[in-house]
Amino acid sequence: MLSRLRTTWSLRPCVSVCRWAHTKERGRPLMLSPRTNKGMAFSLKERQILGIHGLLPPKVETQEIQALRFQNNLKKMTDPLEKYIYLMGIQERNERLFYRVLMEDIEELMPIVYTPTVGLACMHYGHIFRRPKGLFISILDKGHIRSILNNWSENDVSAVVVTDGERILGLGDLGVYGMGIPVGKLCLYTACAGIRPEKCLPVVIDVGTDNETLLADPLYMGLYQKRDRSQAYDDLIDEFMEAVVDKYGQDTLIQFEDFGNLNASRILRKYREKYCTFNDDIQGTAAVALAGLMAAQRVIGKPITAHRLLFLGAGEAAVGIANLIVMAMMEEGMNPDEARKRIWMYDKHGLLVKDRQEEMFPNQEPFVHDSPGNIGSFLDAVNTIKPTAIIGVSGAGRLFTHDVIKSMGALNERPIIFALSNPTTKAECTAEDAYTLTDGRCLFASGSPFDPVTLSDGRVITPGQGNNAYIFPGVALAVILSGVRHISDTVFLEAAKTLAAQLTDKDLEDGRLYPPLSKIREVSLQMAVKVVEYVYSKGMAFRYPEPIDKNGFVRATVWNTDYDSLLPETYDWPDVSFSPKTK
């Protein structure tokens, strides 16, 4: 019972008497655990008292020197996958050093630990495997998930990121190889928002895979069976959710990641009012896309209610973005039906229109309209609907053709083109095409990074990266600190507004629709503060007493990469005598 009661002390600011280090360990185990290992930064006294003297070279190094060594080695590497393997090796040996290296060069290294390289790492997971991270739960474990959670080394978990590997980025079904996604997401929980790494649990749920290549691969590490789509799947997810809150508490944050389209929407609807949960592919993507549109408003001077939007792709991400845009339009006073009429969707079968022969799903119904005429291609849809913005979430590659981009440029003085599919190879167009084919007039954002583009007139434009990492770490930190039980879509609307507000005029002049990634720690903390303020003001927070200085409260809880002293605490007793009293 006690394990289910989430106390607040673990989330309060750490004061001088608070010791997070594992001081009970001695000897070589200290050097084998990434939580306690300092490498050559163990002091001489630590080496002598803790029984590791002589197990290291005699030099005592600073963390700065250690970081410099790894940074120099990374600079020598050119292959992104090689860099990923090297970085993950640091994480497996020295956690604090890993996060220092990552945070000091976040703009350069985020594309390695996250999209696009993490997609490549997932595809080769069984070939580059070194050491397991996270929990692996298979459908054969049904009825025993609670005991598997008991095997995890940490008993106080605040955030779980879970995938079933069915739709990894735009790469499809990778089964158990999808573990790279929860691991990468939780790296950014810590690097971007300062959430303590030991409070984070990555999980992959293995119910099989429909990927024939993996099923024939002797190095594949999951179940050799087709993906289970029976009632047993739902029962397994139910058991997983119940086991997590039973062990860690009702307000444990559970983030769903890269589930297949049908399961993602269905699971979110099923659990969102029962658990503290969100789906980043649906809600995180929606918030970052909306933030980009809000930033574009500052350039164009046109309210969001004046836009017409055409989506390429009509899956969970498209519907999630569309629903949040409708909420933003409603906040500006527009009727919801009128708002939905301004949003169109185009999938592999064509426009979502009434009386279409191909199947459509319930979550798409609000965006199904009367047919505007004979539409044979996405280009036809652009020329007929005349959108002010096109948003690509198809995961199908370069479908924003040159003709589509040129048409957008002819229809709009400042066309908005968002190619949000990941990884880079799945983006609907490149930044170079978007800018050059519109003479630099378009407002462009992508899900994965593109290099700055130099135009024929010498102008250099820095593409905006609509990266979910601008959203989910800050939202997660706020939710954990405030004790939110259920995460409303209004939280993501607030997050989108907060992100857009942090964009400077200089950023906009450079062509950015999002702040530089180098500022993402500050962006995440400011977002956490705003969301904490919002959830308390709306009665969504359940952790009391409510902090008066919410900015100070959030920042005081942030984990840092400095090494802890592992020496036992020693002190004197003042004015004490150990001799018997004499008369």
177 tagged catalytic: no
SS3 at position 179? helix
Identify whether the C-beta of residue 7 lies closer than 8 Å to the C-beta of residue 543. no
* Structure tokens given for 436: 């050059």
* φ, ψ for residue 132, nearest 5 deg: -70, 140
* Structure tokens given for 177: 């190889």
Task: Using alpha carbons, select from 433, 442, 443 the residue that is nearest to residue 500.
Answer: 443
Identify whether the C-beta of residue 513 lies closer than 8 Å to the C-beta of residue 470. no
Sign of CA dihedral 253, 258, 115, 414: negative
CA 179 to chain centre: 14
Identify whether the C-beta of residue 176 lies closer than 8 Å to the C-beta of residue 211. no
185 tagged catalytic: yes
> What is the Cα–Cα distance from 404 to 419, expressed in whole angstroms?
13
> What is the Cα–Cα distance from 46 to 39, expressed in whole angstroms?
12
SS3 at position 178? helix
Which residue among 83, 99, 125, 185 is the active-site one? 185
Which residue among 114, 435, 470, 563 is the active-site one? 114
Largest CA distance in the chain: 111
* Structure tokens given for 569: 């605490």
* φ, ψ for residue 162, nearest 5 deg: -130, 140
> What is the Cα–Cα distance from 21 to 215, expressed in whole angstroms?
43
> What is the Cα–Cα distance from 391 to 310, expressed in whole angstroms?
6
Task: Using alpha carbons, select from 430, 573, 426, 445 the residue that is nearest to residue 515.
Answer: 445
Q: How far is CA 54 from CA 44, 48, 58, 560, in A?
A: 10, 9, 7, 29
> What is the Cα–Cα distance from 485 to 528, expressed in whole angstroms?
16
Identify whether the C-beta of residue 20 lies closer than 8 Å to the C-beta of residue 564. yes
Task: Using alpha carbons, select from 165, 139, 286, 287 the residue that is nearest to residue 223.
Answer: 139
DSSP 572: P
> What is the Cα–Cα distance from 554 to 478, expressed in whole angstroms?
8
Angle, helices 95-104/80-93, rounded to nearest 10 degrees: 140
* φ, ψ for residue 391, nearest 5 deg: -125, 115
Burial of 451: CB neighbours in 10 Å, binned 0-12, 13-18, 19+: exposed
Q: How long a stretch of residues is the chain? A: 583
Residues classed as catalytic: 114, 185
